[in-house]
Amino acid sequence: MLLYAGRRLTYGLLVLALVATLVFLIIRLIPGDVVRLQLADAPGVTQAQIDQRTTELGLDEPVLIQFGHFVGGLVQGDLGTSFDDGRPVTTKILERLPATLELGLLAILFGVLFGVPFGLISAIRHHSLIDNVMRFLAVIGMSLPNFWLALLLITFLALWFGWSPPLVYASPTENLSQNLIHMLLPAIALGAATMASIARMLRSSLLEVLGSNFIRTIRSRGASERVVVLKHAGRSSMIPVFTVLGLQVGSILGGTVILERIFAIPGMGSLIFEAVGQRDYPVILGCVIFYGAIFIFVNVVVDLLYAVIDPRIRYEGASA
Amino acid sequence: MSIAISGAARAARHPKARGGLVRFATEQPLGAVALFLITLFVVVAVLAPWIAPYDPLAQDRVNLLTPPGVGGHPAGTDELGRDVLSRSLYGARTSLLIAVSTLALGGVIGLIVGVVSGYFGGTWIDSVLQRIMDALMAIPSIVLLLFVAALLGPSVRNTVIALSLLVIPSINRVARGEMLRIREEPYVEAARSVGCSTPRILLRYGLPNLMAPLFVMGSLLFAVILIAESALSFLGIGTPPPTPSWGRMLSEGRSQLEIAPWMTVVPGLILSVSVLAFNLLGDAMRDFLDPKQRR
């Protein structure tokens, strides 16, 4: 198990290194250089100022050396300093990280809390009216863009109940209840698609397992339907659900960017958005790498969870 | 893409394929509904200049923020007095243009990467290509889009380039998986034994046999692109003004949520129904093509 975990983690780090290389290369490959793009808006910029800024940022050195500096900093957790206020990028990101993680986790929590029971009910009563309604709702849930859902929630809660989410963000340590109220709508808007995907996946995998031979054997021994579904079928049908969760992490992380923007939540999404507006490349680069790191880390954890649920996976991996 | 089009055209001319469409509609009624909605979407997008009641940019100064039905505006007007329905119809045009170009660009690149990777599965070529794809997939789509759009600046062309980065890894995955299966097939072995060159094997025997799952993926990706394009425009880095796009209409409606909810509801509803249609079509095609699902 430990060996398996080690291998997955190494692989994750390799992909992360590739992500860093890729974004570095993309920035270098674009036409026009970073300094010109950054100073393009400022009036009356002289060539001397451009040259000075270029030297300051070390952009006059060969690309390979620049890449060396970049990698050297990266392994020490140093992503450079922000163009905007000169503070270290890592510090800026770490300040914003908790809000994004909280929003993402709440969305996943919402998705699992409602998606799993919906999937179970759908599978147990398959081809009934309630199953058909739920399946249709699930496809709709997957098709509604999360930002539109958020706007609808805001509009109709305001029009019908006269309730609006708080405008000022409060961190959980300051005021937990206000923080949670603030996070409620974005978490629902973001978690709706996750809920729908989980319900769909759980339904189909549970149906497949329920049709298999070992379930027939268990049924023939007189096990109650509840024991069959929850104890025996449930475990093996959870694996595809974890796959969905791993895949959903990407869209949830992406979704936080846009929802943080709508609900004025000071997370990484707001940070990268501000950085894009200011052409603050070190911050943009740092954010992309951080998002990649979170995604890769979660997927490594999901892989390890597979191995915990299904021991065959770790043995298969060990022999390969 | 020309290969894909000629393949599809050949399939359409084939009498068996026509019967297939009828069978598809009877076996997958939801898929038929989806196909109808998509046809409607394409017709609206193409014919927008002729069916829209107003010029999408014309400002009706007398009717600012009027609710649906007032002053001859079926879906109301926005804060500049522009007709919301006309703008939504033109938005379909923008979305269709971007989605089709993205699928073409990303699809071709993804297909090439996937087919080559699958054919050389297990060798270093495969590993290198797939690790790059893994890295692309590790960055959440909106973040990747923000990153690329920020570097290139907002324009329709750059939106297409950014969005195709989402398409490439997904198409690659499907194409590679299919190619890994196809290269073990006897007909590929036969082609190799009579001395066909690798490109010929890939084009002549590989491509035609992996089109079916690609259509499924293409439909689902179309839905993803529609949402992603709107998200980019919503954030203000996608389609630049004044071109009407659903995403920017939603962001304009955001400031008038409680006064003029139709500004948000109408384009969002059309966007969601289009996305729903492509998701349903993808699902229906998958069920239709998967023999395991047939009873």
State the residue range of the domain holding A131.
Answer: 89-319
Do residues A283 and B146 touch, judged by C-beta distance below 8 A? no
Provide mean pLDDT across the span B109-133.
Answer: 87
Highest mean pLDDT: which range of B77-91, B160-174, B195-209, B261-275: B160-174
A112 assigned to some structural domain: yes
Q: Rounded to whole angstroms, what are the CA distances from A53 to A42, A43, A47, A89, A214?
A: 13, 16, 10, 18, 69
Smallest CA–CA distance, residue B92 to chain A, in Å, is: 16
Contact A36, A79 (CB under 8 A): no
Q: Say yes or no to pLDDT of B3 above 50.
A: no
Rounded CA separation B190/B204 (Å): 13
**Hey, which residues 122-161 in chain B have their CB within 8 Å of chain A?**
131-132, 134-144, 146-152
Any A CB within 8 A of B37 CB: no
pLDDT cut 70: percent of chain B above it: 86
Residue A6 inside a domain? The answer is no
Instruction: Kindly report the CATH number assigned to the domain that includes residue A234.
Output: 1.10.3720.10
pLDDT of residue B7: 44
**Cβ <8 Å between A276 and B149:** yes
pLDDT at A106: 92
Residue B166: pLDDT band by 50, 70, 90 thresholds?
A: confident
- The pLDDT, as a whole number, for residue A41 is 57
- Under DSSP, the state recorded for B54 is S
Give A261 to chain B, closest Cα distance, Å: 8
Counted across chains A and B, CB pairs separated by less than 8 A come out at: 127
pLDDT of residue B105: 93
**Residue A187 placed within a domain:** yes
Residue A258 to residue B237, Cβ atoms within 8 A: no
Output the six-digit token pair for A125: 């009563």
User: Looking at residue A37, what is its pLDDT?
Assistant: 62
Place of tokens 């397992």: A209
Predicted pLDDT of residue A110: 92
Mean pLDDT, chain A cut into blocks of 10 residues (320 residues total): 82 87 76 60 68 69 76 78 79 88 91 89 83 85 87 82 73 77 87 90 84 80 76 77 82 88 87 82 85 88 80 57
Q: Is the pLDDT of residue B275 over 80?
A: yes
What does the DSSP 8-state code read for residue A170?
-
The per-residue b/e assignment along B4-41, b for 16 or more CB within 10 angstroms, e otherwise, is beeeeeeeeeeeeeeeeeeebeeebebbbbbbebbeeb
Candidates B257, B258, B272; nearest CB to A143: B272
Note whether residue A70 is domain-resident.
no
* Structural domain includes residue A10: no
Minimal CA separation from A206 to chain B, in Å? 15
- Tell if the CB–CB gap between A14 and B146 is shorter than 8 Å: no
Number of other CB atoms surrounding residue B72 within 10 Å: 12
Kindly state whether residue A138 falls inside one of the protein's structural domains.
Answer: yes
What's residue B128's pLDDT? 87
Tell me, yes or no, whether A253 lies in a domain.
yes
Average pLDDT over residues B39-48: 81
**Cβ separation A16–B283 shorter than 8 A:** no
Say how far apart CA B147 and CA B285 lie, in whole Å. 34
Alpha carbons within 13 angstroms on the beta-carbon side of residue A191 total 21
pLDDT value of residue A39: 64
Tens digit of each residue's pLDDT (9 = 90 or more) over B48-103 = 778 777 777 767 666 666 777 666 667 677 777 677 777 888 888 888 888 899 99
Mean pLDDT of the B126-147 span: 85
Mean pLDDT, rounded, of chain B: 79
ipTM above 0.85, yes or no: no
The model carries a pTM of 0.83
Number of domains in chain A: 1
* A19 touches A286 (CB < 8 A): no
> For residue B18, what pLDDT is reported?
56
> Is residue A228 a contact partner of residue A218, using CB atoms and an 8 Å limit?
yes
- Mutate which of B30, B144, B145, B151 to test chain A, going by most A C-beta atoms within 10 A? B151
In a domain, A61, yes or no: no
For the stretch B187-235, pLDDT in tens is: 888 888 888 888 888 877 777 778 878 888 888 888 889 888 888 888 8
